Amino acid sequence: MDRWIEETFHPHWRVRLEAARVLHEVKTEHQHLVIFENPTWGTVLMLDGVCQLTTSDEFVYHEMMAHVPLMALERPKRVLIIGGGDGGVLREVLKHPAVLKATLCEIDRTVIDTARQYYPSIPGAAFDDARTEVVIGDGRAYVANTDQRFDAIIVDSSEPIGPSAVLHTREFFADCRRALKKGGVLVTQNGLPFLFPAHLRATTSALGQLFKRVAPYLCTQPCYFGGPFALNFATDDKHLLKLDAKHLAKRQKKRGVAELKYWTPEGHVGAFALPAYVRAVVADALSGEQERGEAPAVADGGEAAAAPPSAVEA
Ligand code: SAM
């Protein structure tokens, strides 16, 4: 009889997935890891009872984490990925020909080793690419101590629990800002705004205190049950959020970044158009800055057309 594996993240409801075959299960130094096959979702990775990815829909999250910041940048040469041991974001980052070096700092080597063994289609050849540098260690410590400077830092962390909790703190974001080149971009995963508005509020508020522009954007990740999934985009370069679909399409063509299954130039711009309940969380998060007179009001409809409507100048 098949085993059913439960996602234990939500306090008052549970999702159970049939495990037709458990491929690997271990308590690592950092977390509980299980990889199994499910007839609907394909190969599934769960860490500490939270679904991280499935081979059927991973393209959504990985494309939106990589291509939104990298298409916004004119020449992204140096990229840092924190977490992301499954290799999906790295795979997408390396599609940009301007990338000369991509560093991936992952705390748990087991995630990388089992990704290569049990779902090799996700990393593909990314870990063997000459431009890839893998660092096994805590991402918080890495950004606090690095003397490298990056065009983009992509924080592909798990939820703010366990080893990943430190990757959702203002101190960590401040160190990321220090490690960015002038006009660089920080992108973080920011959870499910419908279920966890406090997560989006806290991160947006922290980023609003550190960066000139903060703009959450959304994607629909089927295996993250609970509505649209939020990512956050922070930079001091206002222009990065003013690119229209025509400009992004030209860039995509020039770079030869093809065969994407989720990211499109129009979807890039549209992802920043937040539903009212999410926009309210963002406005609330930045209201502190407004009180301190550090941030003007959330951009109104007119200007929003040019800049993503959720973009707020800090
Ligand atoms: N998409 C997933 C999500 O949103 O939940 C995240 C996927 S990825 C597998 C998350 C990775 O972050 C895991 O491999 C985990 O080991 C890594 N991680 C957690 N805490 C970390 C830390 N402090 N430093 C570096 N990597 C960390």
164 lines ligand 1 (CB under 6 A): yes
Report residue 287: phi and psi, to 5°. -65, -30
Report residue 139: phi and psi, to 5°. -60, -30
Quick one: pLDDT at residue 297? 40
Side-chain half-sphere of 268: how many Cα atoms within 13 Å? 26
Tell me the residue length of the chain. 314
Report the atom number in ligand 1 closest to the C-alpha of 167. 23
111 lines ligand 1 (CB under 6 A): yes
Q: Residue 73 has which token pair?
A: 């940048």
165 lines ligand 1 (CB under 6 A): no
Q: Computed from CA positions of residues 252, 253, 255, 257, in that sequence, does the dihedral angle turn out positive or negative?
A: positive
| Residue 62 burial (CB count, 10 A) | 27
156: annotated active-site residue: yes
User: Which of 176, 195, 229, 206 shows the shortest CA–CA distance to 52?
Assistant: 229
Quick one: pLDDT at residue 289? 53
Report residue 169: phi and psi, to 5°. -115, 155
The residues, ordered by sequence, that sit 6+ positions from 99 with a Cβ below 8 Å of its Cβ are 70, 76, 77, 78, 79, 93, 131
Per-10-residue mean pLDDT of the chain, 314 residues long, equals 89 94 97 97 97 98 98 98 98 98 98 98 98 98 98 97 96 98 98 96 97 97 96 97 98 96 98 98 82 42 38 37
User: Which of 183, 182, 156, 151 shows the shortest CA–CA distance to 168?
Assistant: 156
Q: Which amino acid is at 293?
A: G
| Residue 266 burial (CB count, 10 A) | 12
Quick one: pLDDT at residue 296? 40
Taking the complete model, does pTM exceed 0.85, yes or no?
Answer: yes
Quick one: pLDDT at residue 9? 87
Q: Residue 194 has which token pair?
A: 């419908």
- Annotated catalytic residue within 129, 156, 244, 300: 156
C-alpha 62 to ligand 1 mean position (Å)? 13
